Amino acid sequence: HSFLECPALLLLLSLLLLPLGLPVLGAPPRLICDSRVLERYILEAREAENVTMGCAQGCSFSENITVPDTKVNFYTWKRMDVGQQAVEVWQGLALLSEAILRGQALLANSSQLSETLRLHVDKAISSLRSLTSLLRALGAQKEAISLPEEASAAPLRTFTVDTLCKLFRIYSNFLRGKLTLYTGEACRRGDR
């Protein structure tokens, strides 16, 4: 009787491996469809946002960092092809990962950045890696790539942020907004 036959153990194993940013081997391809998984990432992102809210000193970047626009027009979103939604989420996730890595590099020499804040930045980088793996398993990347050129030509809306707090706010909004909407839709389709 192998432990891989036990879904609860497998889920637990996957959740333990995810924070390390490791690809979860043998993980159910629809692990992200378990609402508790996404909720955990959202909770971490909100925590990071709350911790950085009071951080004025040492949390400003020496340059502006480009992030995806997280605003969602539900009417437009609902009318979008699921492939286009995948593109938005996939590109947004990639841009966010770049932004947080850039933020980490810019603050690397900041003596005023507390250990707690550094930990939240590291955690966010690891979480984004895991989310990328989970979305890949769900087929988001395939959907984003298989779109005809003209359909995916709409450029991703972006703007810039200049503090760690704003960066974490975008990160948190992105997970609660577009990512949650997309996974909800993709998981529903997969259940049919």
Q: How far is CA 135 from the centre of its chain?
A: 9
Task: Give the DSSP H/E element, type plus range, for residue 61.
Answer: strand 60-68
Q: Which residue has the higher pLDDT, 12 or 88?
A: 88
Q: What pLDDT is attached to residue 137? A: 82
Fold assignment, 30-189: Growth Hormone; Chain: A; (1.20.1250)
Q: What pLDDT is attached to residue 8? A: 55
Residue 160: strand pairing partners: 66
Q: What is the pTM of this model?
A: 0.80
Q: Which residue has the higher pLDDT, 130 or 143?
A: 130
pLDDT, average across residues 102-113: 83
Distance CA 130, CA 60 (A): 27
pLDDT, average across residues 36-51: 92
Q: Mind listing the pLDDT tens digit for each residue in 136-175?
A: 888 766 776 665 554 545 677 899 999 999 999 999 999 9
Distance CA 134, CA 164 (A): 25
Q: Which residue has the higher pLDDT, 84 or 2?
A: 84
Q: What pLDDT is attached to residue 139? A: 77
- Which residue, chain included where needed, has tokens 């997309």? 182
pLDDT of 16 > 60? The answer is no
Q: Average pLDDT over the chain, rounded to whole?
A: 80
Q: Which residue has the higher pLDDT, 16 or 133?
A: 133
Q: 20: pLDDT confidence band, cut at 50, 70 and 90?
A: very low
Share of the chain above pLDDT 90, in %: 39
- Torsion-angle region of 26 (φ positive above 0: left; ψ -120 to 50: alpha; else: beta): left
Q: Mind listing the pLDDT tens digit for each residue in 53-66?
A: 877 666 889 899 99
pLDDT of 68 > 50? The answer is yes
Q: Which residue has the higher pLDDT, 158 or 23?
A: 158
